[in-house]
Every structure is written in C-alpha cells, then in structure tokens.
Structure 1
Amino acid sequence: MIVDLDIDSDVDDVSALAMLHTMHNKGQIDLLGVIITSDDSSAAFCADVINTYYGNPKMPIGILKNQAGVRNHSKYTSKVASEFPRRHKHLKRMQEARSLYRRLLANSPDGSVVIVTIGHLTNLQGLLQSPGDRYSRLGGLALVNKKVSKWICMGGQFPEGKEANFYRPDPASTVYCIDTWTLPVVFAGWEVGEKIITGGDYLKGIIESSSPVYRAYELYNNFKGRASWDQVAVLLLTKEADEYFDYIADGTCVVAGDGSNKWVKGSSSNHSYIRLKPETNVNVIARFIDDMVVK
C-alpha cells in the first residue's frame, strides 16, 4: 500500500504513519512508500524520522517539488526533524511525488495496491494526470486502474458537509480525483474520527518518551487528546475494522467546486463511506489505535 499524507498542521498524521509502520513490521501490510502532500518545509523530514525510528529508513518518500510559499508552519515537524535521526539531509535527494507514485505502482503486481490518502489530493491528481514515462508507458489513470485495488480516503463529511482535506488548499484536486476515479473508494469522513479521541494520557503512559511520536504529541498539545481522523482511515486496513464500522454504499459522493460534499442516494456506485456501528464503543477503538502506535 501507499500512504499520501499532509504531515504538518495536525498531529494525527504522525500516529497514522506510526500505525502503518507497526503493521508493516508485523507483516500485516506491505508499505511501499510515503507521499508527502504538504507545503511545510519540514514535513518530509519529519516523516523520514518516523520511518527511521520504526526501522524502515529506506522507505521511499515522494514530495511536491518547486512549490511556491513553502515554509515551516507546523507545531512539531521542525523540532522532530532536528531532534531525531533521519536518513535524508536534503529534500533534493527525495523523489518527486508523482514520479514515485508511478515507480511504486509500475513495480507492483496488477490489482495489488491500496492507496490511502489522509491529506489533500494534489499529488493524487498529479498521478492521475501523469503521462507515460520510463516506469510505464501507461498514463496515470490507466496505470492506477491496472495496479490499484482500492482507494481509502480520509476526507469529506457524511452525509454532507465541508471538511478540510476536501476544501483546503486545493478543492479542484478533490473534484478531479473523485470525478475521475473508477475503482472502489471508501471515504472515512470527519464525523467518524471526530468521536474517537487518541493521543491523551493513555498514549503518554505506554509510549517511550524517546519516541518521535511522543515528542510530536508533546509539542502539539502536550497529550491533551486529539480526534483520530487519519487513524480511522488506516484502521480500515485491519481485520478489526469490520467490528467497528458499517459501509454505506447506496449512492455517490458529489463534491462541489468549493470542496463541500454531499452523499447523493441512488443506485450503488464505486463509492462508499463508513459509519460507526451503533454498538461500537469509541473508547475501545481509541485504545486500539494508541496501542498500534507502539513499536
């Protein structure tokens, strides 16, 4: 699987990436690479730290290059990047995101890759619009349709609303990706992760204080707890997900130009979104997520 994240403004990306590494290290998933969709100057280095800490320093990282307005605006990325070991010293040594997407997909068996996006969709749009290259003669959409099995997307609000990953800073990419995507896509909406609070006292008590995840939560809000939007999307890769969530597949997610979205009921499509089962205890899910962060 490939994860595409905006590890900057919120801290849930840190936990989500840590979860993926623990699953990868246990052989539960095959994490192929990390795509950074962010204008934070230390975001990729922060991800590099987490890759390194979890024993995967050679994990490929793809970044947006030649962006305007790149700066450090995160509460934690710069300090995490400077305080912990990492492989990369310069961004120029990292591959461009669209190119890395294409390389990873081209080298994978047909229909084998799950893409999980837990940020905005600029790089996914870049992949879908990409022309053939040295990795594959196929254009981006054809390459995706050949190599990908499904897309898990943290984004939107269901049955309707306006959520940050969809509208900020690139709503046009959201419209394009959702209108263009033809394979199964599962949306983990804002309203689900909002109910599941992680990164509080429980995590503080079980994770090593020498961990970059500990440091990120300390810097972000000193373990006051935070909603688990991104972690819920990662949780959908686990067998336990079916215990916690129902899948609603009686319609289509329609996105307006401003990034707001609405679930339009009708015949089933390739779209679905998750909803907490009525009997689900959100505190059980929260503890399960926090436990998955510990390597």
Structure 2
Amino acid sequence: MNSLIIDTDFETDCDDAGALAVACALADAGRIRLLGVNASICSPWPAAAVRGFLQVFGRPELPVGCNRSRQDTEEYRRHASRSSGLLYPREVVRSVSPCVAGRNRLPDSCAFYRRLLEAAPDRSVTVCAIGLLTSIAELFLSGGGELFRRKVKRLVTMAEAPFPEGADCFNWRMGPLAAETVLNRFRGELVVSSWGKSVMTSAAHCPAGERGDLLRLIYRISGSGDPEYRRSSWDQLAVLYAAGELSDLMVPGPEGKLHFEAATGRHRWTPGDGKAVFLHPAASDEKLARLVQEWMDRACTSYSGITSKRF
C-alpha cells in the first residue's frame, strides 16, 4: 500500500477537487495510506478549502499544509485574476463551515512536510504534485532537500509537458524557479504525468448527498455555472497512477534524466543516467474516463449522510 502526500493548488481548476475525491475513495477502500494534503498557492483560502473538503469527505483529522511564505509568480497572479469568477475556495469554505477558514490553524507547508516525512520510514512515501511545485521547492531551499530525498521514493508531477522536450502549459510554467529547483535536484523516481486533456469527466451525476453536492458545486463554479460541466482529468489520472491503480492503463517510458530551465520554461529528457520517466496511455480515453468517473462516484457514495441543502 502506497503512503501518499498530495500537493495541490486547489484554486483555478476543478480537476484538483476530483483528484482529491478520488484519493479519499482510494483511502476508504484501503488502496492507499493518505498522509496529508498540501495547498501550494500563497493564500489561506485554498488550504482552508482543502480542509473543508476533507471534512465533508470524512477525513477532518488529515494534516493540511498551507503555503504562507513562498509568493506566487506574477504570471500565476495574472492567471488567477483573469479566472476570478471561476475560483471556488472561498465558496467551499463558506458552504462547508466558516470555522475552517482560520489560516493560523494550519501549519506552514515546510513544517507540514517536515512533520510527515520525519515520521515516515526511508523511501516509503509517494508525493503526487497536481499543482505547482512551490512548496516542495521551498522545502528544498530551506534545508529539507536531503530529508525529502531520503523519505520520498517517488515524485509524481502532473504537467502538460511534451516528451522528450518542450514547454509545459501550466504547472511548471506558472512556477518556473520552483520547477527548476525540484526537477533538477530530486534524484529519486520522477514520474511526469501529462495525459488527461481528452479524458473528460464530470461531477454532474455523482450520487446525491453532501459529498456529491460539494463536488458539483466546485465543478459548476469552474464551469461558469454549467451544471453539466465536463472537465479534463489530468489530476485524477496522476493520483490513480501514484496509488498504483493504473499499472496496465498508463505505462512509463524509459528512464532518463530530466532537466528544466527556468529562464526559458523548457524541459529536456535525455536517456541514460536518471530515474525520470514520462507516462504514456495504454488504454483509450473512454476507458480511462470510465475508471476516473467510477472512483469519483465511489467517493460520493461512501458517505451515509442525508442530502445536503447547503450546496
């Protein structure tokens, strides 16, 4: 069973919420040991929304990290500003419970990582980063790189990064210095999960109840109010692979070395010395979508509460 930490931006796209729901369902089914969730955006709202989300999905005790110190890039701030009507964290907090908004209740991301990793056996943790690599880079730059390398056996990073070289569309591009720090310094198993754009899923028909209603709220906001909004499933596929659930459906390519250059925003994979691999689909988009949808639905059916009117 994989011990998993999820690192998410949880702000500008709803597939983060779908992925977190999938992770909770995997943990409920005994497929993973979910250690904690870090919110990488420098704002109290994504972390507070993660905490509220976990409260609804039956894991109020799960550690949540909050990026308090590592400022977002100007490019990310412009993107968030342009997408202001599609951001869901504040609405999640208001809908679930205002008390989860207390920023000081949540540890800083570096303290979060140190606490979880120091308690873990060596090479026992998988980190699945479905957002920017900001918090992991901050840990590296604050003297925690050796701890991360010793405890983390695999880092799965979701990025729309073409193989073997090119430029990522979002997660690395929005935090290039962070991506350079982590991708060029981590020497463990590095998995780039870039597939999912054409794997479309939705929260529209997830089972009724508090969990399904919250997921629908998030997808509806991200979809400009469309209750049937369907979205790409990049993050869900990354989480499923990190959990060991896609061994026959997403396959790693050959090992090699990955280098990222912050100044240009470009990466290059070269064969040979290194443990970096890119995932490639071994199943149709439709089959992958069915699997993702099944886990999203399962996440919403494992709660026995009555239908909520809050969302």
Using the size of structure 1 for normalisation, the TM-score is: 0.87
Q: Which residue of 2 aligns with 1:220?
A: 222
Deviation string for 1:18-77 (max 9, x for gaps)?
111111122111111111111354211211121011111111111111466889845322
> Which amino acid in structure 1 is aligned with residue 215 of structure 2?
V
Kept after mapping to 1: 8 A contact 2:93/2:100: no
CA spacing shift, 1:67–1:148, aligned 2, 3 Å: closer
> Which amino acid in structure 1 is aligned with residue 216 of structure 2?
Y
CA distance in 2, matches of 1:66, 1:241: 35
Query: Superposed, which structure 2 residues align to 1:145-224 within 5 Å?
Result: 145-159=149-163, 160-163=165-168, 164-168=170-174, 170-189=175-194, 192-199=195-202, 203-208=203-208, 210=210, 211-221=213-223, 222=226, 223-224=228-229
Kept after mapping to 1: 8 A contact 2:127/2:156: yes
Q: Which runs of 5+ in 2 are unaligned?
A: 300-311
Kept after mapping to 2: 8 A contact 1:251/1:267: yes
Relative to structure 2, which stretch is displaced further, 94-103 or 266-275? 266-275
> Which amino acid in structure 2 is aligned with residue 165 of structure 1?
N
Kept after mapping to 1: 8 A contact 2:197/2:232: yes
CA distance in 2, matches of 1:262, 1:128: 22
Do residues 108 (structure 1) and 120 (structure 2) align?
yes
CA distance in 2, matches of 1:94, 1:158: 36
Kept after mapping to 2: 8 A contact 1:249/1:268: no
Q: Does the residue aligned with 1:204 lie in a helix, a strand or coil?
A: coil
- The structure 1 residue matched to 2:292, chosen from 282, 289, 293, is 289
CA distance in 1, matches of 2:250, 2:71: 40
| Percent of residue pairs bearing the same amino acid type | 23
CA distance in 2, matches of 1:205, 1:175: 40
Kept after mapping to 1: 8 A contact 2:9/2:40: yes
Report the CA distance between 1:263 and its aligned residue.
2.6
Report the CA distance between 1:106 and its aligned residue.
0.4
Kept after mapping to 2: 8 A contact 1:45/1:86: no
> Which amino acid in structure 1 is aligned with residue 131 of structure 2?
G
- The structure 2 residue matched to 1:58, chosen from 55, 58, 61, is 61
Using the size of structure 2 for normalisation, the TM-score is: 0.83
Q: Which residue of 2 aligns with 1:48?
A: 51
Instruction: Calculate the aligned-residue CA RMSD, in Å.
Output: 2.1
CA distance in 2, matches of 1:112, 1:94: 24
Report the CA distance between 1:260 and its aligned residue.
2.2
Do residues 129 (structure 1) and 141 (structure 2) align?
yes
Q: Which residue of 2 aligns with 1:39?
A: 42
Q: Which residue of 1 aligns with 2:309?
A: none
Report the CA distance between 1:285 and its aligned residue.
1.1
Kept after mapping to 2: 8 A contact 1:63/1:94: yes
CA spacing shift, 1:30–1:250, aligned 2, 3 Å: closer
CA distance in 1, matches of 2:189, 2:157: 11
Q: Which residue of 2 aligns with 1:28?
A: 31
CA distance in 2, matches of 1:254, 1:243: 28
Report the CA distance between 1:148 and its aligned residue.
1.4
Do residues 94 (structure 1) and 96 (structure 2) align?
no
> Which amino acid in structure 1 is aligned with residue 290 of structure 2?
R
Kept after mapping to 2: 8 A contact 1:57/1:86: no
Kept after mapping to 1: 8 A contact 2:140/2:181: no
Q: Does the residue aligned with 1:130 lie in a helix, a strand or coil?
A: helix
CA distance in 2, matches of 1:40, 1:12: 19
Number of residue-to-residue matches in the alignment: 278
CA spacing shift, 1:226–1:88, aligned 2, 3 Å: same
Q: Which residue of 1 aligns with 2:307?
A: none
Q: Which runs of 5+ in 1 are unaligned?
A: 132-139
Do residues 271 (structure 1) and 276 (structure 2) align?
yes
Kept after mapping to 1: 8 A contact 2:42/2:68: no
Deviation string for 1:236-284 (max 9, x for gaps)?
03444122122112432221223222333x315210010112xx12112
Report the CA distance between 1:80 and its aligned residue.
1.6
